[in-house]
Amino acid sequence: MKNKMKSVLEHVKKQIDESAVSEEIDGYPYIQILNFFPQHYYEELVEVFKGMNNKGFYPLSKNYQDRYVYQISRGENVHSPMPTFNDLTERERNFWKDFQDTFYTSGFLKTAFLEKYDDYIDFPKEYYGHMMDQCRLQRDYKGYSIGAHRDKLDKILSVMIYTPTTDDPRILEDHGTALLTPKFEDPEKVPHHPDHVGQGKDRHFRFEEMNLVKTASSIPNSIYSWAVAEKSYHGVTPLESDHTRHTMAFFVKIPKQLMQFHKLYGAPDFKC
């Protein structure tokens, strides 16, 4: 590992180690960290990210055409080859290869956050080797939104890294993540609505069916992370600004055939 990246890694490790899991929302363990990266490294990251053209970015899905992503890892379902960044400029390629090696390929982020959330994860240790971590760059455009959801059982934890290209407080609030609590008791009993995305208890609900607790603003060089739990509802309300929302996403998933062994924090069968 390059000397520069050793110091960056040491800083990030210290920030994670010294962070605390918040339980202010019942059944919803989450972490917010400021100054996640060393400032000089963060400024370079934003400059490189902002300067990338749209080559290599693609729509997240048919339901979310206003979100474009660029993979730092093998992709959400880990079927794609590891990115080599050959479609980027030399500076961009070198930067993201160093990031990939330091935080993703090494397993650092996966291990660090799994350890941090250990008290809030109920999944057999013997199956940890099947966990898959993913990392991507995201550009969200005006009108983008994602409904209130807690994440499916095939996801263990998520980390949102905020990398805004503005310091306008109105835009930072607009580009944040809504932390929500449901107005309903049982998600499976909520009648299906045409605006819902998906089916069953893990569908994406309407914001009208939620209470807004707070917004994790898109504060420069900060993260918002959560362990998937019984009440880990979150979402992004429709972006009003013409300014592009820049974020990075890191998450840990499990194969769908192992979802039956994942028990959510806050559920009656958690660690029973």
Q: How far apart are CA 33 and CA 16, in angstroms?
A: 8
What pLDDT is stored for residue 157 in this prediction?
98
Give the pLDDT confidence of 28-82 residue by residue, as tens digits: 999 999 999 999 999 999 999 999 998 889 998 888 889 999 999 987 655 678 8
What pLDDT is stored for residue 4 in this prediction?
85
Give the pLDDT confidence of 7-42 residue by residue, as tens digits: 999 999 999 999 999 989 988 999 999 999 999 999
Q: How far apart are CA 133 and CA 97, in angstroms?
A: 16
Give the count of beta carbons closer than 10 Å to the beta carbon of residue 186: 8
| Contacts with 260 (C-beta within 8 Å, 6 or more apart), sequence order | none
Rg of the Cα atoms in the chain: 18
Give the count of beta carbons closer than 10 Å to the beta carbon of residue 172: 21
Give the pLDDT confidence of 187-223 residue by residue, as tens digits: 999 999 999 999 888 999 999 999 999 999 999 999 9
- Tell me, which fold does domain 3-261 have in CATH? Jelly Rolls (2.60.120)
90-99 helix and 39-51 helix, angle to the nearest 10 degrees: 130
Give the count of beta carbons closer than 10 Å to the beta carbon of residue 102: 19
Q: Which two tokens stand for residue 44?
A: 């370079």
Residue ranges covered by each domain of the chain? 3-261
Phi-psi region of 69 (alpha: psi -120 to 50; beta: other; left: phi over 0): beta
Give the pLDDT confidence of 139-167 residue by residue, as tens digits: 999 999 999 999 999 999 999 999 999 99
CA of 12: how far to CAs of 34, 77, 151, 224, in Å? 11, 26, 26, 14
